[in-house]
Structure 1
Amino acid sequence: VRLDDTDWCFPLQIRKEDNITLVLRMDNGERRFVKTEIRGYEEGSRFLVVFRLASINGPI
Structure 2
Amino acid sequence: MLDHKDFMTCTNNHKSRKGMRQAIAISRTKIWLVRLRIVYSFLRNFIKLDSKLCYSAPLELSHY
TM-score in same-fold range (> 0.5): no
In proportion to residue count, which structure has more helix? 2
Class of the TM-score when normalised by the shorter of the 2 chains = under 0.3
